[in-house]
């Protein structure tokens, strides 16, 4: 999974998710088309997990066999960084459950989930080989 710039790779997910959200359209404080909100939420959550996978690899966290669960990510982060754990908990609740599964459409809630994902991805900046602002 070695990547020259894990930060930029994880941020690519967020950028793609933001493009999906633009297609959802807005009316008042809500997105209009839940198909795009669900897609965007899933992509952003995937970027969050991608960032954690990179971070765990960098920190030498033993790889787990089989499919990783949210419990795995929470358990490993609880040993490593409590602040990132809070972002994961919120990102999971908002992006994965509210946005993706339930089709939640409130703009400020979805944006909050995106912010949590970006906060986790920001933890990769010190480990990225190229200069990132």
Say if residue 4's pLDDT is above 80.
no
CATH architecture of the domain covering 6-127? Up-down Bundle (1.20)
pLDDT band at 130 (very low <50, low <70, confident <90, very high): low
Kindly list the domain boundaries of the chain, sorted by start residue.
Answer: 6-127
pTM for the whole structure: 0.91
What is the band of 64 on the pLDDT scale with cuts at 50, 70, 90?
A: confident
Cα distances from 121 to residues 16, 19, 36, 88, in angstroms, run: 15, 18, 22, 11
What is the model's pLDDT at position 1?
46
- What is the arithmetic mean of pLDDT over 30-57? 97
Which residues, in sequence order, are CB contacts of 23 under 8 Å at separation 6+?
A: 33, 36
Tokens matching residue 50: 């991608």
């Amino acid at each position: 999974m070695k990547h020259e710039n894990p930060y930029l790779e994880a941020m690519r997910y967020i950028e793609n998710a933001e493009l999906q959200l633009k297609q959802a359209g807005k009316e008042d404080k809500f997105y209009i088309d839940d198909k795009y909100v669900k897609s965007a939420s899933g992509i952003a959550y995937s970027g969050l997990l991608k960032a954690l996978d990179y971070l765990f690899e960098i920190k030498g966290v033993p790889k787990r066999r089989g499919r990783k669960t949210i419990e795995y990510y929470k358990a490993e982060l609880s040993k490593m960084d409590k602040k990132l754990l809070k972002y994961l908990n919120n990102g999971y609740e908002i992006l994965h459950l509210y946005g993706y599964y339930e089709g939640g459409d409130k703009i400020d809630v979805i944006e909050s989930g995106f912010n949590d994902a970006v906060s986790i991805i920001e933890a990769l900046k010190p480990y990225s080989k190229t200069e990132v602002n």
